[in-house]
Structure 1
Amino acid sequence: MVDISILVPVYNECETLGETLRQIQEVCQSMHFQTEVIVIDDGSTDSTSQVAVIAGTILLRHERNRGYGASLKTGLREARGEIIVIIDADLTYPPQRIPELVDHLSNADMAVGARTGRHVHIPWLRRPAKWILQKLANRVAGQKIPDLNSGLRAFRKAPALRYMHLFPDGFSLTTTLTLAFLCDGLRVEFLPIDYARRKGKSKINPVRDTINFLVLIIRVAAYFEPLKVFLPATMISGLISLYLLGYYFWKDGGVSDTGVLACTVTLLLFMMGILADLVVRRSRS
């Protein structure tokens, strides 16, 4: 019986996959668990699949490139272990920390390798957007999140499967996983780890993926804590309504249709937020 499934999503990682798998297999031999290593090849055009086969891992392959999240969802569906570990194949994350993450699941539902160690190499270009998204996610979760979308983590499979319908196909799956666990009151622990400089070219598109992260955080907030989305929207709409009413009253001496329309939108946003919150709380009771 398999206890732990280690998922390695890859796309054109033939240069680093072999060393990554070698380190993972060394770690597996040191643990007192039955493990399986699953490589999910997301439509690579190089020899990535051959490297995985030579290393003796389980290989799952997409016929075309579908995305990081799609790869992890494929791996989750096929994984036999009750504990899931995910790790990237670009040698940025230390596989040697996997046993420690798994050990923390004795008191938690998920253990995340937070990139807050002494040696962390995150490109400066990504840091401003990452900071903004982090602050927004902290507000949604109601607590400080050391690392929102770390690609090294261990978690229990059963609760993760409950959120499969929320998981996107892109890089923001790990963000969804973190927020879903925290917003649903599950126990999440963060362990500081080092993060090495990436070998090869990153697959992340800074502009597109930042927008996707932002949309996803709002979507998850609306799903778990709708008032945290609708109340700020209502306040902004209300301020705009007051401005329009005041401006046109000062200019024309009466109430404008634009101001009335803005007030109506404000009221609708408020009512939608209340109804959404009632639906969420009823579904959890």
Structure 2
Amino acid sequence: MQQGRGLSEASSSTDRSSDALCPAFSIVLPIYNEEKGVEVTLDHLQENLKGSGCQYEIIAVNDGSTDRTSEILKSRSDIRVIEHRKNRGYGAALKTGIRQAKYPLIVITDADGTYPNEKIPHLAALTSKADMVVGARIGAHVRYSNLRKIPKWFLIRFAEWITDSRIPDLNSGLRVFHKSVVEQFLNILPDTFSFTTTITVAMLTNGYMVHYEPIDFHHRKGKSKIKPIRDTLRFIQLILRTGLYFAPLRVFLPVAGLFFSAFLYTLIQDIFVREDLTERTLILLIASTQMAMFALLADMLDKRT
């Protein structure tokens, strides 16, 4: 993969001189059964963007909605509407919109009114110094339930280990990135809610600059489609898979180290307690050696591609 311009960074600054320059961008909205909030979200988007001086387009991808969402979208002449005949997933809707976007800068946000979309021009301006700008939900008014805080903390720590980078917000749905960069990863990005998690890990493990800008997070209009237990397990699986793909050494070597530590422990027992070399000790030695070899081979293949 092409290497980017640096490591991740986080900032609390909201007054940047780069705001003076507003690049053209395409906003991609993945929408599924959002009849209660989509019109308000679109109205707010247009209201905030028309006075910004930015050149933009709004692409609404209706992902097989079964309520009045399609009817509402088709009644508007100020957006581009793309229809999926059936529900294909959040990530699939984003990929459809990204491929159809006419501007080199892509903005993704949700249609449920949870993100402060008035920040979009500011976030877009920051891409002059980063490959991706993430609206990090670490603002003063952001609150999460304990049910979400615990798995979210472990997910972020795991992703930080895989990427060797600080990640204030792993899966924020408000972010801006260069289309040319993300197109390199479209084939491996999932069709599910894990899209944002995967693109974060993919870009960080490939050396791209990711900037985190603090934002607030509003109460959702309508029912959430996230299922905490199921989606947390999927996120863990996804991060592990992405880590194996982009940073195999950081996944395989700790496992090899664990097996080797167990080998040393049983070897000491064999020498000083049993006074005999057991099969368990040999198996652990072979396992640790194989894991180390897998790590090196995977890393070589990753660098070749």
TM-score range, shorter chain: over 0.9
Q: CA shift at 1:199, angstroms?
A: 2.0
Of 133, 138, 159, the match for 2:181: 159
Number of the residue aligned with 1:147: 169
Of 45, 48, 66, the match for 1:27: 48
Q: Secondary structure at the match of 2:177?
A: strand
- Residue 145 of structure 2 corresponds to residue 128 of structure 1: no
- Residue 29 of structure 2 corresponds to residue 8 of structure 1: yes
Cα distance change of structure 1 residues 209 and 5 upon mapping to structure 2, 3 Å threshold: same
- Residue 68 of structure 2 corresponds to residue 62 of structure 1: no
Between the aligned partners of 2:238 and 2:284, the Cα distance in structure 1 is 27
Number of the residue aligned with 1:178: 200
Q: How many residues align?
A: 282
Moved more, 149-158 or 200-209: 200-209
Moved more, 245-254 or 16-25: 245-254
Q: CA shift at 1:247, angstroms?
A: 5.7
Q: Secondary structure at the match of 1:162?
A: helix
Moved more, 169-178 or 118-127: 118-127
Unaligned runs of 5+ in 1: none
Number of the residue aligned with 1:212: 234
Unaligned runs of 5+ in 2: 1-22
Q: Residue 121 of structure 1 contacts residue 196 of structure 1 at CA under 8 Å; is this kept in 2?
A: no
Query: What CA deviation, in whole Å up to 9, does each residue of 1:83-103 have, x standing for no partner?
Result: 100001111101100000011
Q: CA shift at 1:244, angstroms?
A: 4.7
Q: Residue 54 of structure 2 contacts residue 121 of structure 2 at CA under 8 Å; is this kept in 1?
A: no
Q: Residue 92 of structure 1 contacts residue 196 of structure 1 at CA under 8 Å; is this kept in 2?
A: yes
Between the aligned partners of 1:55 and 1:238, the Cα distance in structure 2 is 63
Q: Secondary structure at the match of 1:85?
A: strand
TM-score of the pair, normalised by structure 2: 0.86
1:45-56 matched pairs, under 5 angstroms: 45-56=66-77
Alignment-mate amino acid for residue 3 of structure 1:
A
RMSD: 1.9
Q: Secondary structure at the match of 1:260?
A: helix
Q: Secondary structure at the match of 2:36?
A: helix
TM-score of the pair, normalised by structure 1: 0.92
- Residue 42 of structure 2 corresponds to residue 17 of structure 1: no
Number of the residue aligned with 2:63: 42
